[in-house]
Amino acid sequence: MPTNPPVSIVITSIYPPTEAVRRFAGRAGYQTIVVGDRKTPADWQAPGVVYLSVAEQEAAGFRLSTRLPYNHYGRKMMGYLHAIRTGAQVIVDTDDDNLPYPDWEFPPMEGSYATAPAGKGFVNIYKSFTTHHIWPRGYPLDLILSPAHNLSEEQLLPAPARVGVWQALADGDPDVDAIYRLVDNTEVFFDQRPPIVLAEGTLCPFNSQNTALRRELFPLLYLPAYVTFRFTDILRGLVAQPIMWAHGYRLGFTQATVQQIRNPHDYLKDFESEIPCYLHPNRVVAAVRAVVEPSVPVGENLRRAYAELARQGLVPAEETELLELWLADLAALTT
């Protein structure tokens, strides 16, 4: 990833500084921001890291902090706002258990890439990077055994793309759902291959583990805080894709550039938290597609999307209230 425009790496952590955090902080040309929470050690500090304690978040003057829950992954949004305030043009999402490889970087946001056909609906992008029987968290369960929703090499044709979001994969313990972990849980190291871009109408869940997003789409960083923990970033990605299509941006996937050494999890609790991932992906995408329009700004399309999700009972009303604070903070920083 070129370091001009400025790039900020944003992580949230409740643990003492990890090896992953130290590796990211040691990368020249990047700003590394770690967002604390009430469970984070009070003496947290690491060389090369901008650490945002709870007190510093509350003193930053952002409206979002007045309603954002504590002890929640959504605290990461305070790091996004800090990055935007300090001039970031690209924000990289990652976690404190993702060890970056020495050649960690993202492809350029503009270029010609192998591109999937348009209008295929959900595709299992993992099957383009491995022969192992595996699927990403948030992928519809009824498609797991359907080879028609895997991409063949013959379908991937070079085309120019304006990429809005790059999702890089993670080796070792990649982002899969609790069902995979309960019935298989084999470690996977993905194949190296050129990036793949998804055309309009072709989509795949993407997460917040090794992900880069460009400034024009910063409103789409919003992490819903009133849904279950394991649905938070998946819902964000499902909402984002129809909005990206409306504005001419694409989602791209690239080979693994980190190895995840996963923090301890209770798989049954993960399963419980993931139930909306299993039940609602198609409803979410259909709801968003029904209300977005190319003629309005990205933030307004996001507002419309969550209003429709709330109307359909897919998110609670509190979500739209928090979203308004997020959009107000962004407006204050970018106008």
98: helix, coil or strand? Answer: strand
Residue 164: pLDDT over 90: yes
Residue 4: pLDDT over 70: no
Instruction: List, for residues 227-286, the tens digit of each pLDDT value.
Output: 999 999 999 999 999 999 999 999 999 999 999 987 777 999 999 999 999 999 999 999
Under 8 Å CB-to-CB from 92, ≥6 apart: which residues? 1, 7, 8, 9, 10, 30, 106, 210, 211, 212, 213
Nearest to 325 by CA among 243, 175, 225, 239: 225
User: How does residue 2 score in pLDDT terms, banded at 50, 70 and 90?
Assistant: very low
Other CB atoms closer than 10 Å to residue 14's CB: what's the count?
A: 15
Least confident of 126-140, 263-277, 306-320: 263-277
Other CB atoms closer than 10 Å to residue 107's CB: what's the count?
A: 18
Q: What pLDDT, on the 0 to 100 scale, is given for residue 3? A: 39
Other CB atoms closer than 10 Å to residue 285's CB: what's the count?
A: 18
Q: What pLDDT, on the 0 to 100 scale, is given for residue 5? A: 57
Q: What pLDDT, on the 0 to 100 scale, is given for residue 335? A: 75
| Rounded CA separation 253/206 (Å) | 9
Least confident of 109-113, 150-154, 260-264: 260-264
| Rounded CA separation 129/192 (Å) | 7
Q: What pLDDT, on the 0 to 100 scale, is given for residue 334? A: 85
C-beta of residue 189 within 8 angstroms of C-beta of residue 264? no
C-beta of residue 190 within 8 angstroms of C-beta of residue 174? yes
- On the CB side of 320, CA atoms within 13 Å amount to 17
User: How does residue 142 score in pLDDT terms, banded at 50, 70 and 90?
Assistant: very high
256: helix, coil or strand? Answer: strand
pTM for the full predicted model: 0.96
Q: What pLDDT, on the 0 to 100 scale, is given for residue 264? A: 74
Q: What pLDDT, on the 0 to 100 scale, is given for residue 320? A: 98
Mean residue pLDDT across the chain: 96
Give the pLDDT mean for 124-134.
Answer: 98
Q: What pLDDT, on the 0 to 100 scale, is given for residue 1? A: 44
| Rounded CA separation 234/122 (Å) | 13
Instruction: List, for residues 38-92, the tens digit of each pLDDT value.
Output: 999 999 999 999 999 999 999 999 999 999 999 999 999 999 999 999 999 999 9
C-beta of residue 19 within 8 angstroms of C-beta of residue 46? no
Look up residue 4 and give its DSSP letter: S
Domain definitions of the chain by residue range = 98-334
Instruction: List, for residues 170-215, the tens digit of each pLDDT value.
Output: 999 999 999 999 999 999 999 999 999 999 999 999 999 999 999 9
| Rounded CA separation 210/195 (Å) | 14
